[in-house]
Structure 1
Amino acid sequence: MRIFDEATLASALDYAGAIAALRAALMTDFDPADDPTRLSAPLKHGEFLFMPAEIGSYAGVKVLTVTPDNHEAGLPRIQGSCLLLDSRTHRPLAILDGAALTNLRTPAVSLAGVADVLTRRFPEGVSMTVFGVGVQGLLHVDAARAVVPVSSVNVVVREPGRGAEFLAGLADMGIPGTEVVGSSGEELVAALQASDLIVTATTAQEPLFPAEAIPDSAVVVAMGSHSPDARELSGALLARSTVIVESRHTARDECGDVVMAIAEGALQMEDTLTFKEVVTTGAAGVDPERPVVFKTSGMSWEDLVVAKTVYEEVGL
Structure 2
Amino acid sequence: MPQPRWVDAATVRRSLSPDRARRLVRQALADGLDPSADPLRQAVPAGDGQLLVMPSANRRAAGVKVLSVAPGNPARDLERIQAVYVLMDTETLTPSVLIDGSAVTSLRTPAVSAVAMEALAPAVVDAAVVFGTGPQAVGHVEALLAIRHTPSVTVVGRRGEAARATAQRVSSLTGHGRLDVRALTVDDDAVEDAVRAAQVVVTATSAATPVLGDDWVADGACVVAIGSHEAHRRELGSGLLGRSLVVVEDLATAHREAGDVILAAAQGAMDWDDVHTLQDLVLGRVERASDRPNVFKSVGMAWQDLVIAEHVARH
In which range does the TM-score fall when normalised by the shorter chain? Answer: over 0.9
Deviations, residues 61-118 of structure 1 (Å, cap 9, x unaligned): 0001111111122111111211111123213231110111111111111111221233
Which position in structure 2 is the counterpart of 1:188? 191
Give me the whole-angstrom Cα distance separating, in 2, the residues matched to 1:21 and 1:115: 14
Decide which of 172, 176, 183 is 1:179's aligned counterpart. 183
Q: Per-residue deviation at 1:56? A: 2.3
Alignment partner, residue 221 of structure 2: 218
Q: Distance in 2 between matches of 1:109 and 1:67?
A: 24
TM-score w.r.t. length of structure 1: 0.93
Conserved 8 A contact 1:33-1:249: yes
Comparing 24-33 with 169-178, which one deviates more in the overlay? 169-178
Q: Which secondary structure does the structure 2 equivalent of 1:212 belong to?
A: coil
Using the TM superposition, name which of 169-178 and 17-26 deviates more. Answer: 169-178
2:229 matches 1:234: no
CA deviation string 1:175-210 (max 9, x = no partner): 211222334x64222111110110001111111121
Residue pair 1:170, 1:176 contacting (<8 A) in 2 also: no
Question: Secondary structure at 2:166's aligned position in 1?
Answer: helix
Contact 1:101 1:303 in 2 (8 A): yes
Corresponding residue of 2:249:
246
- For 1:69-108, what aligned pairs fall within 5 Å after superposition? 69-108=72-111
Decide whether the 8 Å contact of 2:110 with 2:140 is kept in 1.
Answer: yes
Q: How does the TM-score come out when normalised to structure 2?
A: 0.94
CA deviation after TM superposition for structure 1 residue 159, in Å = 4.3
Q: Contact between 1:64 and 1:78, CA under 8 Å: does it hold in 2?
A: yes
Q: Tell me the residue number matched to 2:137.
A: 137
Question: Could you report, residue by residue, the CA deviation over 1:200-238 in whole angstroms, capped at 9, with x for unpaired residues?
Answer: 011111111211111002100000011100000011101
Counterpart in 1 of 2:286? 284
Structure 2 counterparts to residues 298-313 of structure 1, below 5 A:
298-312=300-314
Q: Which amino acid aligns with 2:219?
A: D
2:8 paired residue number:
5
Gaps of 5+ in 1: none
Q: Give the equivalent residue in structure 1 for 2:270.
A: 267
1:295 aligns with 2:282: no
Query: Where does structure 2 lack aligned partners over 5 or more consecutive residues?
Result: none
State the distance in 1 between where 2:30 and 2:7 align: 27
Q: How many residues matched?
A: 308
- Asked if structure 1 preserves the Cα contact closer than 8 Å seen for 2:163 and 2:185, the reply is no
Whole-angstrom CA distance in 1 between matches of 2:254 and 2:82:
24
C-alpha distance in structure 2 between counterparts of 1:40 and 1:97, whole Å: 20
2-structure distance, mates of 1:287, 1:209: 20
> Is the CA contact 2:164–2:182 (under 8 Å) kept in the aligned structure 1?
no
Q: Following TM superposition, by how much is the alpha carbon of 1:59 offset from its aligned partner in structure 2, in angstroms?
A: 0.9
1:160–1:79 CA distance, 2 compared to 1 (3 A): closer
User: Which secondary structure state, in structure 1, belongs to the residue aligned with residue 40 of structure 2?
Assistant: coil
Alpha-carbon shift at residue 29 of structure 1 (Å): 2.6
1:110 corresponds to 2:113? yes
C-alpha contact (below 8 Å) 2:247/2:296 kept by paired residues = yes
Preserved contact between residue 119 and residue 287 of structure 2 (Cα < 8 Å): no
Cα contact 1:126–1:150 (8 A) shared by 2: yes
- Aligned match of 2:32 in 29, 32, 36? 29
Q: In 2, distance between residues paired with 1:162 and 1:67?
A: 19
